[in-house]
Structure 1
Amino acid sequence: MYRLAFLVRVPSVACVIGIAVAAIWPAGISHGDTSQSSYHYSCDQDSLTADFVARDALPQTQVPPDHWYQTNADGHYINQGWGPAADALPAPEVPTNAGCDASTWKRERILAVAMRYINNPDNPLGLQYRHHHIPGWNPATSTYAAAAEENPDVDAPDKTIEWAAGPGLDCSNFTAWVYNYGLGIKFSGDVHQQFAGTAGPMGQAISRDGPFQPGDLIFLHPNGNTNEASHVVIFIDDQHIIDSRVNAQNLVGIQIRNREGWYRTAVLSAYRPIG
């Protein structure tokens, strides 16, 4: 059986993210903390992360770096600010020293990858919410996102806007990147396609009532429209998810959040890419 336990460790930066930490999170939960030592995994922890340095060295995209930041006559990035599309990364092998079965390792691997990007001031990999495809896309100026309809989640505008400078991922590009980086499972970052199961190898469809397993992708809509998803999160356990939002529960960007309120009532369905 898969179990994920949390140690009590609330870093000082939590006060920067939100002073109402104790009121938001149950006892024992440390949010905004990127240290993998804060989490108890059933698999050998080093087996989950040992290849991160090597995978960080892989090209995130096939687009040549000198083409990433080209602009049009209006000064807008010619790719409309989304940045280059992600390349398909190779699938890792389950280490022989994993200390758990292959399916459990893959689920915990997804959580370990997702938590690398928690938006913490002390975390150089931390990401905010941006309409970008890869975490390496780091524009020095505002990005022109003229394709808001691609991912109309709860934080997306109804019209074109400019995102602030810097790296980030929106909800479905975050889920796509985590699976691509973590397991070499490549599907598109379009939330509509993910919800429909047409984005790529999305795996097994799960009903809105679950039961869910760690790493499952849960789709939601703020208006309860069962025909269209507007947001996607990664399931951790019955009380927690990790996702990318502009700001939710007083937390900015990619964060572990409580699975309560809208996160629980607006569930449409889920997919389980891990067999």
Structure 2
Amino acid sequence: MKTSLLLLSLLLYCSALTAADYQSPYKVAFTYSDEELIGDILKGPRGNWKEEASVPYRDWYDEANQRRWKYWGPAAKHFGAPAGMSNKSPEWSRQRVIATAMRFVGYTYQHHHVPDWEPPASWPKDEKQTTPVTKGVDCSNFTAFVYNLALGIKPTGDVQDQAELTEAPGPGAGRKISVKRIELPERYEDFEKTLLTGDLLFVKSNKGEVSHVVLWVGKIGRSPDGVPLVLDSTGTGTKDSNGVPIPDGVHLRPFKKGWWYASKASHALRIIPEK
């Protein structure tokens, strides 16, 4: 299998975006080249950030939309299926999801539907927002947007509704794909045997309700201590393998035994078929 050139380019791209020059010890080793995985996103109109929403870019900051959108901003458009997807393997689809998600590493945690929505100071604000308002995305809108951009599959962005999906729109408009619920193993050591790259892993709050979702990176993840990795958008509070706090927003994070992700894991959803 080919060693991906995407790894180096993504790491350089991400290091330029992260807060306070944070350098992650975590990596993703793709087995496809960047051109094979996300060439259409890197070079084509699919990757144009001004085309993320369901309305034209000229309307993103129209004051007439403030009351309707509030701080969430415009809804995401529904992307079509990528060219040739029907001839690709499930493994290609899984790695394409992670490669697409890695493009947003460094974006901050914001209650937005699309990652590049960056409301001006005059726009309504989320009263619970404690960090500066800028472009960014929350956990479930992140996973929804990534699947949408990568594969044309558009889950809901509401985390609790997303957690209960049995099917999702796509690939592309007018179609639906089945979503498989994966029950989690009792032993932490068996998570890697149970989950596949790109699975959505849902996490409960201390109140017992699903409140968070992450992308499972799986066998293509690389960590210095061998800990499995997830990719998500969340707040601060997690430290990496070097003991350095990971900034808020979109980053690779460790799935450590006894930590919140593992101890409060609810279930997973598999959108990409196994075969």
- 1:250-261 matches, cutoff 5 A: 250-252=245-247, 253-260=249-256, 261=259
TM-score (structure 1 length as normaliser): 0.72
- 1:2-81 matches, cutoff 5 A: 16-18=20-22, 25=25, 29-30=26-27, 39-52=28-41, 53-54=43-44, 55-57=46-48, 59-71=51-63, 78-81=68-71
1:218 lines up with 2:201 in the alignment: yes
1:115 lines up with 2:99 in the alignment: no
CA distance in 2, matches of 1:202, 1:223: 30
Alpha carbons of structure 1 residues 111 and 71: separation in structure 2 relative to 1, 3 Å: same
Q: How many pairs does the alignment contain?
A: 231
CA distance in 2, matches of 1:79, 1:49: 31
1:193 lines up with 2:191 in the alignment: no
CA distance in 2, matches of 1:115, 1:162: 25
Greater helix percent: which structure?
A: 2
Aligned to 1:89: 79
Specify the code of the residue in structure 2 equivalent to 1:258: P
TM-score (structure 2 length as normaliser): 0.72
8 A contact 1:144–1:163 mirrored in 2: no
1:138 lines up with 2:118 in the alignment: yes
Shift of 1:224: 6.1
Deviation by residue 1:129-148 (Cα, 9 ceiling, x = unmatched): 000001231212275355xx
Tell me the C-alpha RMSD between the 2 structures.
Answer: 3.4
Shift of 1:65: 3.1
8 A contact 2:54–2:78 mirrored in 1: no
8 A contact 1:129–1:168 mirrored in 2: yes
Deviation by residue 1:239-261 (Cα, 9 ceiling, x = unmatched): 10000012232222100001121
Shift of 1:81: 0.8
8 A contact 2:51–2:57 mirrored in 1: no
CA distance in 2, matches of 1:15, 1:140: 21
Alpha carbons of structure 1 residues 224 and 106: separation in structure 2 relative to 1, 3 Å: farther
CA distance in 2, matches of 1:224, 1:199: 27
Deviation by residue 1:181-204 (Cα, 9 ceiling, x = unmatched): 000001111101111116735611
Alpha carbons of structure 1 residues 185 and 140: separation in structure 2 relative to 1, 3 Å: same
8 A contact 1:187–1:202 mirrored in 2: no
Describe the SS at the equivalent of 1:111: helix
CA distance in 1, matches of 2:11, 2:81: 34
Aligned to 2:144: 176
Identity %: 31
Shift of 1:70: 3.5
